[in-house]
Amino acid sequence: MTATTDGSTGALPPRSSSATDAAAETAQAGPDGRPGTAVLQDTADAAREATTRATDYLLSLQDPAGWWKGDLETNVTMDAEDLLLRQFLGIQDPEITEAAARHIRGEQCEDGTWATFHGGPGELSATIEAYVALRLAGDEPDAPHMADASGWIREHGGIAASRVFTRIWLALFGWWKWDDLPELPPELIYFPKWFPLSIYAFGCWARQTIVPLTVVSAKRPVRPAPFALDELHADPRNPNPPRPLAPAVSWDGLFQRLDKALHLYHKVALRRPRAAAMRSAARWIVERQENDGCWGGIQPPAVYSVIALHLLGYDLGHPVLRAGLESLDRFAVWREDGPPGPDGPGGGPPGEARGSAPTRMIEACQSPVWDTCLATIALADAGVPADHPQLVRAADWMLGEQIDRPGDWSVRRPELPSGGWAFEFHNDNYPDIDDTAEVVLALRRVRHPEPERVEAAIDRAVRWNVGMQSKNGAWGAFDADNTSPFPNRLPFCDFGEVVDPPSADVTAHVVEMLAEVGRAHDPRTRRGLAWLLAEQEPDGAWFGRWGTNYVYGTGSVLPALAAAGIPASHPAVRRAVSWLERVQNDDGGWGEDQRSYHDKEHWAGRGASTASQTAWALMALLAAGERDGEAVRRGVRWLVETQLPDGSWDEPYFTGTGFPWDFSINYHLYRQVFPLTALGRYVHGGPAAGGTAGAPVGD
């Protein structure tokens, strides 16, 4: 087995079992090296007890309306930008400012930086934004925690080396020059849908952000800052040293020169056509506001949409802006017991007692549909009866969330009837393929008193998911064939993915769903399956786009292969099993650090063991027929031994992914739903087949 490294300390936690225990287990092993009957029985008994505790705990978390939702934790740029928005709009609230500042202070690392995931390295842009937010909250630049941060920022290139989005926020207050930012003209709204740089060439999350930012870029507002930020420049006399141009014959060089041309156009753009473009952008923005006032259920597009509309004359009392600002408040998670920070418990003054200083964390988005379908699957696979009232209530809630109108996805699929589910509470414009597949898998596990209603919803969902298949046979998350190579080349796009190509994890979930509804031999399913087999990495793993990373990808694909009828003896399955066994930690669990996106050679499948990643590996191995194998037994024991008395697991590590490497997520419910799913499948022998499972779904 391979010992792996922890992101912060460089060492894994000690193994759970003692050397004596390990020797005893080895003595009881069978002649083939697999665990003996007594060892397996002991593990199975412990797994049953852990499954019961975890089931009771997860059932207790359900909202009376039928949904589950865990906190969605990202990084402090969400909190910093919320304070910057309030400063820009002049709507500061002392209580909010102080609570947000306590949270930000509590997340500061010992070296003065802020990371974008637990145990990760300091990140320049996040550190700059956190520092500026604390300055707005009243922290003095010569305070020790602030001086540590500013010194680190200067050593790493200062503001000039930060990403474009950070410098846009600073430009709003005059801390950076608009002329020194990439240009983004509002006339982009007029590009035809087929054009490689049309707004529909961008992934939906980028599209929702870019359209309002074209307005901001054209308006170039400056609200005078209450202080200077000279201490954040590597050289205050030359705050923005010129950046070298790439060769003109390269794509980067071409787009750099295009950006220079757009800067010239900004100076000569005709007033009326530009005003018309901004009005068109405003209509586009307003048309996509959701019923709850948000945009796409995501905080960043909502923030930029509010700014853009305000710059176009919408006052803060306008119904559109009022609803938008109210929606942003719903992203706030208030906690009475904040994390310890440099100023003491809760990030407050030294000696302040916990509980007396609340903190406020901003979620980038909320995940009730995703959490609810995963919780339903976990409970069903753990043996909860298919007609259990709480599962029926969850199914009712999910049925009520199905989307019945077209959204941006219909630009490429205009004839396709709707029928998907989105990730969030309110997001009718952007259903996603991944949620839709998992909701179908959840609904198939529930014995609902109105089976015809469930089957009709599943039929619409399957038709929509099949219709969203890309040309290569695979599936992206939100759009079909969203693969233009050009958006990522724009100088503006220096942060995260801005296109939505097919991925192995989403494709696997769709293939698993299609097999579940009786379409394992459908030509479209087989095309997806062929794509998955072709995408396997040479070492046996699969890349995980929306979860970290190769453990997630492999944990998604192997259950799909099994559901589609690929035998456990298939070479691709055996390679994947061998990879999972090689990267298992000495303590029996699995873990993978976010750095695997940045450095596969050293980090793929490596990291401190986590409950969710151990569960993904177990789900994969169980699907591959390895239930009685040593790797599975040790993984199950790790889950059993790390379970807390209340039936939950602790998991500070970020195992979710927004943008590979650039934007990491800690889904707080992952630590509950996936271990329960894995334990349930270990105890009961596989995914539940209750509810409406078994009947094929028609076209």
Tell whether the model's pLDDT for residue 12 goes beyond 50: no
Q: What angle separates helix 523-535 from helix 504-516, to the nearest 10 degrees?
A: 150
Looking at the predicted structure, is the pLDDT value of residue 7 above 60? no
Asked if residue 226 and residue 333 are part of one domain, the reply reads yes
491 domain residue, yes or no? no
Pair 32, 81 in one domain: no
Q: Per the domain annotation, does 119 fall within a domain?
A: yes
CA 391 vs. chain centroid, Å, equals 25
pLDDT reported for residue 228: 95
pLDDT value of residue 262: 84
CB 437 within 8 A of CB 513: yes
pLDDT tens for residues 125-153?
A: 999 999 999 999 999 999 999 999 999 99
pLDDT value at position 237?
Answer: 86
Indicate whether 458 and 379 sit together in one domain: yes
| Catalytic status, residue 387 | no
Which of 306, 328, 362 marks a domain boundary?
362
Q: What span, in angstroms and rounded, lies between the C-alpha atoms of 301 and 288? A: 11
Q: Which of 79, 139, 434, 479 is catalytic?
A: 434
Q: Are residues 327 and 456 in the same domain?
A: no
> Are 460 and 324 in the same domain?
no
Q: What is the number of domains present in the chain?
A: 2
* pLDDT tens, position by position, 497-516: 899 999 999 999 999 999 99
Residue 310 counted as domain residue: yes
CB 334 within 8 A of CB 359: yes
pLDDT at 29: 56
Closest CA to 592 of 632, 541, 633, 529: 541
Indicate the SS3 state at residue 560. Answer: helix
Task: Say yes or no to pLDDT of 24 above 60.
Answer: no
CA 323 to chain centre: 25
Do 275 and 128 lie in a common domain? yes
User: Read out DSSP for 142-183?
Assistant: TSHHHHHHHHHHHHTT-GGGS-HHHHHHHHTTTSS-GGGS--
Lowest mean pLDDT, pick from 206-210, 495-499, 615-619: 495-499
270 domain-assigned: yes
Taken in order 75, 76, 81, 82, the sign of the CA dihedral is: positive
DSSP 84-124: HHHHHHT---HHHHHHHHHHHHHT--TTS--BSSTTPPB-H
398 with 443, same domain: the answer is: yes
Mean pLDDT, rounded, for 273-280? 96
Largest CA distance in the chain: 84
Q: How many CB atoms lie within 10 A of CB 544?
A: 28
Single residue among 297, 329, 362 that ends a domain in this structure: 362
3-state secondary structure of 525: helix
User: Are 58 and 78 part of one and the same domain?
Assistant: no
Residue 347 covered by a domain: no
DSSP 3-state of 221 = coil
Scored b (16 or more CB within 10 A) or e, 75-91 reads: bbbbbbbbbbbbbbeee
Q: In terms of domains, do 51 and 140 share one? A: no
DSSP calls for 467-490: HT--TTS---SSSSSB--SSGGGS
Confidence of residue 31 (pLDDT cuts 50, 70, 90): low
What pLDDT sits at residue 488? 85
Q: How far apart are the C-alpha atoms of 548 and 664, rounded to whole Å?
A: 9
**Amino acid 696: pLDDT:** 53
Is 492 within a domain? no
Q: What pLDDT digit, counting tens, does each position of 296-321 carry?
A: 999 989 999 999 999 999 999 999 99
Considering the domain architecture, whether residues 322 and 463 belong to the same structural domain is answered as no
Helices vs. strands in the chain: H and E counts, helices first = 24, 5
pLDDT of residue 26: 42
Residue 1 has pLDDT above 60, yes or no: no
| Inter-axis angle of helices 368-381 and 433-443, nearest 10 | 30
Q: What is the mean pLDDT of residues 73-88?
A: 97
CB 360 within 8 A of CB 330: no
What pLDDT, on a 0 to 100 scale, did the predictor assign at position 355? 47
- Together in a domain, 590 and 634: yes
pLDDT recorded at residue 345: 34
pTM of the model: 0.91
Looking at residue 689, its pLDDT comes to 58
The arithmetic mean of pLDDT across residues 96-108, rounded, is 97
- % of the chain at pLDDT higher than 70: 91
Position 697 confidence tier, pLDDT thresholds 50, 70, 90:
low
Shared domain check, 374 and 319: no
Coil, strand or helix at 215: helix
Looking at every residue in the chain, the average pLDDT score rounds to: 90
Region 214-243 average pLDDT: 92
pLDDT band, residue 286 (cuts 50/70/90): very high
Domain span including residue 137 = 72-339+355-362
Phi, psi at residue 69, to the nearest 5°?
-155, 120
Least Cα distance to 617 among 535, 687, 546, 550 occurs for 550
CATH, residue 446: 1.50.10.20
